[in-house]
Structure formats: C-alpha cells, structure tokens
Structure 1
Amino acid sequence: MRILFVSIHFPSDLSTCTQGVYKRMSLFIDAIKEIGEIDMLFFVPPETQVSPDAIAQTERNFSQHWQTKINLFLCPKEEQNSLPNWRQQWDGIFNFFKQSDFFISPQQMQALEKCLSRKPDAVFVHRLSSMSAFMQVQQPLPPVFLDLDDIEHISFMRQIRQPPTGLATQLYYLQVPARFWGEMQAIRKARCSFVCSSGDRRYLTKRLGLPNVVTVPNAIAIPEQQPIAQEPTLLLIGGYNYFPNMNAANFLIERVWTEIYKAIPDARLIIAGPYPQNIRSYNKKVPGVEFPGFVDDIDALYQNSRVVCCPIFSGGGTRVKMIEAAAYGKPIVATSIGAEGLEMKDGQEFLMRDRPKAFAQACLELLRNDDLCKRLGDAARAAAIRHYDRINIVQQIKQQIQSQL
C-alpha cells in the first residue's frame, strides 16, 4: 500500500523543528508508516534547496529519522507578490483560494498531480493549508484523511483580536466567511478529519453537522517524572515565530513578571525556544528574564524549572507544551485558551488564570508552596499518562485509518 503525505510545514532541520506542529506531524507519520510505504510532498519556502542531490540527501535523512522508506518530493511555494497587499486582502474576502494561507500556484498543482500519478491508495493531508490543493484537483481522488489540528476560522478570529491591531487587521474579519466555507468544504471532501479535542469534534459534528470527524489528541512520549525544583524558576517554552507564543511571552514579561520579581527578587523567568528576537523585551535586559533560545536538553530545562506557564490567548487545537509539562509532573499555570480542549481540570491538575494579577499570584503561590506543587504535578502527570501517551495515540490513528480503507 502507498500513502501520499502532503504538508506545507517542511521540517528543514529535524533536530530543531520540535514545535507542536512538527510533533503532531510526526505522530501521524509514525502511524501511517505501519500501514504502507510513504510518498511525501512538501510545499517548501522558495529559498529551500530542491536540486536532485539536495532532495536525495533530505530523503535519506527523513528515512533515517522516521525509520522507514520515504519517497520525497519538494515543490517551492509561490507567493502572490505580483498583487498589492490591498488587492490580495480584497480578493480573499470573496475567494477562499485567494487567501494567502490557502493560495496554491500552478507549479504546486503540477507537483501534486505528479504524486497522484503514482497511484497512492490513500492520502494524508496535514492541515487545511495543504488541503486547499486537493480541493482544486479535477481528477478522482483516493480516500483523503485530513488532520485539522486547529479549527481554522476560530483560530483566525482569535488571531485578529490579538495585538498589534489596526484597520488593516480588522478588515481581515471580512475574510472569515470565505475561510469558514473553505473549511467546511474540506471536511466534507475528506474520508475522515482528525481534530485535537472532543470539544472541537462536538462543535463540528453537532453544531455544524459535519460527517466523519474523529478526535486524535496531541501526545508525547512519557518521560521520567522529575522532582520539584527548589529554585524559584518559571518556564515558558515555544517557537516565537508564531504569534500566539510571541503574545504569550509579551504578556508574561510585561504584565506578570514585574509583580513576581518584586515579591521574589531571586526568581528567574526562562523564555526558551527559537526566534526569541521577535519578543518585544528581548533586547531590554529585563531583570531576571533569560532567553536561552533553542535548548537541546529538554529534560534538563524542565528539571531546572519549578513552574511552567502557558499564557496563550489565541490559536486553536490543544497546546503540546502543556501536555509536555504535565508529563514531566510540573505544576502549571495556564489561561483558559492555553488549557482549552485538554482533559485536565482547573484546581486539580493545573491552575487557570486569565488576568495578569491573578496569573502572577498563582505563580507566586506555587513558588512558595511545595505541597501544592506536588499535588498538581502528580495529578497532571497522571492525566498525561491516561490521555496523551504517544504509544497509545499512534495505535489509535493506525486503527482509524485502516478501518476506513
């Protein structure tokens, strides 16, 4: 059996592409490699090397990383640079396929048709941004499986509401109906669509009446549990080329950290992950705040952190960073959107706070209270093992796909 995997999220460096989107991608690849041989098509940034030698080397790297034979195809994405921004925005109001996230060039369509000519028995499409290509294919398709880790129209509206805002940003609300239409059509075209949480599934099936939507939660390999760190250290981890993470860091540093540092002057706030230069305070030398960038030793990072923060205010799906912290047995403070969709309860497995002062007070309480840290950390780890163990989720994906082929 041959399965075609298609995505626009190209892991150019497998050692550093460890953000949630890549962890979820790898989850599905590990499942489908047990079903059949994988053809991979990535729509890659224009600067990516796509010579035959470069593709062959990347193919070998991918095959080694995922421990299976992979046939790799790369096609550069094309931007709508020939049109002014206002025209791109205007066209996107009326046409889903003209929105920048879903624009597919003729060259990309040719690459997809070349892969389809290899007669795959099934197609796995990673996110709506890639599904837009299949929605424009004129030929009959094999069964299509879609991973819709974010409900895009909800995530898009949340993103618009987040700073920085202005007239141009607010005008994007006019694109929401077209995005909603495209998302609904994509789900109907798929044999099965996967979402991150039971709440997302209920929304799509019961409120919108869409068929064949299945919950596949984010998951991680369960690590060894770690003891409570005694140093008063807070941790935020993420990639800061993603607006929800950038805004989370800005919120934590500018609206929460001042109160914590005033109460505990030897406290530290670690903002870990790539692209920290996108954070407003990166060059301001805020006392107690550290930006280590990408961290290779994730175990040591968590071991040295007492409290993990997840102050997310936009985006969709579920936060892998919160599942990961729970699996390590770390006490967590999160916003309601940060904890959205997870099988974890406020006050039992984590503390949920949306306002800056309340968020700071929850962090201070955990920095001072070992018993509370242990109770929340133990309960969070138990929830992670119960609901988000990677081994179990991979088998669940495999069974779902096989049952519909």
Structure 2
Amino acid sequence: MKILVLTPYAPWPPYGGGTMRIYQLLRGIAHTHSVTCLTFVTNITDQVAVQAQVAPVTVIGVAGPAKRNLRQRALQTLTNPLPDMALRNVDVSYRQQLEALLQQRYFDVVIAFSIEMAPYLDVVKTYGIPTLFDEFNAEYVIQQRAAMTDARNPMRWHGALYSLIQWQKLKYFEKNMLATVNGVTAVSTGDAQTLSQLVPTVKPYVVPNGVDTSYFDRRRVVPHPFVRPTLVFSGTMDYRPNIDALRWFVAQVLPLVRKAVPEVVLVAVGRRPSPALLALQAAGEVSLTGEVADTRAYLCGAHAYVVPMRIGGGVRLKVLEAMALEVPIVSTSLGVEGIDGLNDTHCKVADTPAAMAAAIVATLANPPATKPTRDFVVANYDWRVIVPRFLQAIANTANVN
C-alpha cells in the first residue's frame, strides 16, 4: 500500500516518547509498504538528517510551526473554542503542502499521529481517503487528572484552572474528531476503553508503546559508576507531568527515604530542565544531568528507578526501557498504567509517600530479581511484537470502504 503519515514533529532524533513511537512504527511499516511522512522540521539540514535515519520512508519537511508565546496561549485559552493542543501545530504552509500531496499522488490510507495533527483531518476527508488516527493518550483524561492534582495545592491553582478549561475543550474536541476517522489506535486497553466510552461507535485497536530490547540490554552497557545509593528518574524535564512527579517526590517521599538511607541521592536524567527543577538542584535535592547521549548507562547504574507520576496517561516508554534493562522499579500506579499483564514480580507499586519510601528502602536493602521483568517485556512489548498489530490496524482501516 501507499501510505501518507502526518506527524507533529520529526521522527528523529527520538527525544521523547512520542518521537520514539513514531520512529519505530514508521520504520516497521516501511518494510512492507511505501511510506511518505509529512512532518515539521527546523531547516533543510534537519530534513536530510531525518531522511537518513528513517529510510526507506520518504520525508517531506515543512519549516515550523511558529511558536506561540505564553500570552498568546493564555488569550487563546480564553477566546478560542479549540483546545491548546489542537492549536499547537496549525500552519498554513503545512496545510498547503498536504493539499498538494493529495492532489498529485495516490494514497491508500493516511495515518495521523497525535491530536496536534487533528486540524488537518478535514483536508484528508475531502479526498475520501481512509484515515487512521493514532491517539498517544486519551488527552482529556490527562488534563482532568492535572486539574484535580493541582487543585489540591493553592500555589498551583493557576495550573488547575488551565487544565480545567483544557479538559472540557479536549473532551468535546476528541469526541467530535474521533467520530470522523475510519480507524483509531490506542496505546493501552484502558485508553481504548476510555475512547470507546467517549464515542461508543469507535472501537480502537490497541497498539502499545514498545521498546527495542536488543538496544536496551544491560549486557551491552557499561553502567554509570554511582558510588552512593542512587535513585534515577528520566524524561523530558520541562514536561509538566515530569515536573510534578519530581517536585512531589522531593517534597513528600525523599525525606522519608533519607531517614532510613541518609546517603541516598536522586538523579534526574533528561533534557531541558525547568526553572522549578533547577531550583531543586540548587537546593541540593536532585542532580540534573541535562541531555545525555545515552540514558542506558544511568539507568543501569541506578540502584532503583523511580516513577512517581501523578499526571499523565498511556504507556510510558521509559518504564519499558528500565524493565528491559533489568533495573528495579518503584512506581505509582499511574506510572505503570497501561502495561497489560504487569504484576508485583515486575515492579513495586506504591501510591502514598510512606508506601513509596518503604518500597524504595526495601529495594535498596534487598534488590529483587529482575530477569523475569526483562523476559516479560521481550515477550510482550518489543517493537517486533507490536508492529504487526499496527499493520493489521492499517489494513483494516484501508479496507473500510
């Protein structure tokens, strides 16, 4: 088949979970189909670099989108009926390039990744091409959780108000958008059920996030030589759920751990640390690495990998990576949400500060066997297992007419 893929950002380099998902699925389907990717790039040099990494996928880059400042976003939150995410990638040049592609070439199916690309679905619909929409998350649920979390902290009421507005906008937007496409993929059974409840006629295919278990294999890694007992957290450090997770962990959990293990240290691995996290580092609460060339060494050197998430959804690739690397994991329920088949042999789950601290202290004192965790991920969450599910969803969507 000839497939056109619309992505909100270039599929390389894989800085975050969304980029990695797009990259792996693109490469996977390109083995058996002719794939064109229309994406955003910074400049032509970026397009050449991306093309080299995702070949044989054909990459067509559009410069942009234009960045909105905080004032513009705040004004649009109050005056525009569309949710913030749906406005993020609105770009005239991208729309024109999409229309030109659809006029000049034949495609059997169009795949749109993430809600940022939903504003372009109307263009595809005018050409009558079957469309598969890949939902990274049930987005309105993330904002619902964020609103409820921030509402408990008077210092975060401005965030709660923003999320309350976005929650309502996203729920309405997702409901209407999902009803217009021919197929939907979700990253977990839970997300699929949530989307079906929102639109009963929609029955999403479950195509989980995955991990390259041949790359994330501790036998191929020289662990970072941490001397003191070290807890590691990873992710993009200006992402709101990650900021919330670290701030909560430092304030509520880490002091309890230090009572039992005074020498313990917390290391956060990831790019673009926010001012709030830089302040925590200045106070001696956490060590921020910034962007690193290879996260595997830090994860393999960790005595425990912590996932204190309170906001978010979907399936977190970073958890699957830690599992594949056989790192002991302590997480909130939300942190490992969506990983079907997970049980207490794979990680410790705790949702209160006291319970999480106790689980961490127990892990440091008596590290669990982690080989079963890797075996579980290899069997269920390697991309080689997941890509065939995506291919089936594409085939079913292309045949809807």
Class of the TM-score when normalised by the shorter of the 2 chains: 0.7 to 0.9
1:390 to 378, 383, 386: 383
1:404 maps to what in 2? Answer: 397
Unpaired segments of 5 or more residues in structure 1? Answer: none
| Deviation of 1:105 (Å) | 4.3
The two structures have a TM-score, normalised by structure 1, of: 0.85
CA contact (8 A) 1:9 1:43 kept: yes
Instruction: Return closer, same or farther for 1:167/1:136 CA change in 2, 3 Å cut-off.
Output: farther
| Deviation of 1:78 (Å) | 4.2
CA contact (8 A) 2:218 2:300 kept: no
2:140 to 153, 165, 170: 153
Instruction: Return closer, same or farther for 1:144/1:287 CA change in 2, 3 Å cut-off.
Output: same
1:165 maps to what in 2? Answer: 156
What is the SS of the residue equivalent to 1:236?
A: strand
Instruction: Return closer, same or farther for 1:38/1:158 CA change in 2, 3 Å cut-off.
Output: same
- Structure 2 residue 101 is matched with structure 1 residue 115: yes
1:139 to 126, 147, 155: 126
- Structure 2 residue 179 is matched with structure 1 residue 192: no
CA contact (8 A) 1:349 1:379 kept: yes
1:125 maps to what in 2? Answer: 112
- For residues 211-230 of structure 1, the C-alpha deviation after alignment (integer angstroms, 9 at most, x for no partner) is 24100011001133569999
| Deviation of 1:91 (Å) | 2.8
Tell me how far apart the structure 2 counterparts of residues 121 and 224 of structure 1 sit (CA, whole Å).
37
| Deviation of 1:86 (Å) | 5.7
| Deviation of 1:43 (Å) | 4.0
Q: Which moved more, 1:239-248 or 1:349-358?
A: 349-358
| Deviation of 1:254 (Å) | 2.5
1:349 maps to what in 2? Answer: 346
Tell me how far apart the structure 2 counterparts of residues 82 and 282 of structure 1 sit (CA, whole Å).
21
- Structure 2 residue 51 is matched with structure 1 residue 63: yes
Tell me how far apart the structure 1 counterparts of residues 51 and 159 of structure 2 sit (CA, whole Å).
44
CA contact (8 A) 1:59 1:70 kept: no
1:235 to 229, 232, 237: 232
Q: Which moved more, 1:108-117 or 1:331-340?
A: 108-117
What is the SS of the residue equivalent to 1:343?
A: coil
What is the SS of the residue equivalent to 2:345?
A: coil
Instruction: Return closer, same or farther for 1:136/1:364 CA change in 2, 3 Å cut-off.
Output: same
- Structure 2 residue 244 is matched with structure 1 residue 247: yes
1:90 maps to what in 2? Answer: 78
- Structure 2 residue 273 is matched with structure 1 residue 276: yes
| Deviation of 1:107 (Å) | 3.9
What is the SS of the residue equivalent to 1:10?
A: coil
1:291 to 288, 293, 297: 288
RMSD: 2.8
| Deviation of 1:39 (Å) | 2.4
Tell me how far apart the structure 1 counterparts of residues 244 and 163 of structure 2 sit (CA, whole Å).
19
Q: Which moved more, 1:356-365 or 1:247-256?
A: 247-256
Tell me how far apart the structure 1 counterparts of residues 91 and 55 of structure 2 sit (CA, whole Å).
32
| Deviation of 1:335 (Å) | 0.8
What is the SS of the residue equivalent to 1:155?
A: helix
1:101 maps to what in 2? Answer: 85
Unpaired segments of 5 or more residues in structure 2? Answer: none
Counterpart residue identity of residue 25, structure 2: F
- Structure 2 residue 283 is matched with structure 1 residue 303: no
CA contact (8 A) 2:238 2:274 kept: no
- For residues 238-260 of structure 1, the C-alpha deviation after alignment (integer angstroms, 9 at most, x for no partner) is 01121001111212223222222
CA contact (8 A) 1:240 1:279 kept: no
CA contact (8 A) 2:10 2:50 kept: no
Tell me how far apart the structure 2 counterparts of residues 166 and 316 of structure 1 sit (CA, whole Å).
21
CA contact (8 A) 1:191 1:212 kept: no
- Write out aligned runs for 1:208-223 (5 A): 208-222=199-213, 223=216
The two structures have a TM-score, normalised by structure 2, of: 0.86
Tell me how far apart the structure 1 counterparts of residues 364 and 68 of structure 2 sit (CA, whole Å).
49
Instruction: Return closer, same or farther for 1:167/1:232 CA change in 2, 3 Å cut-off.
Output: closer
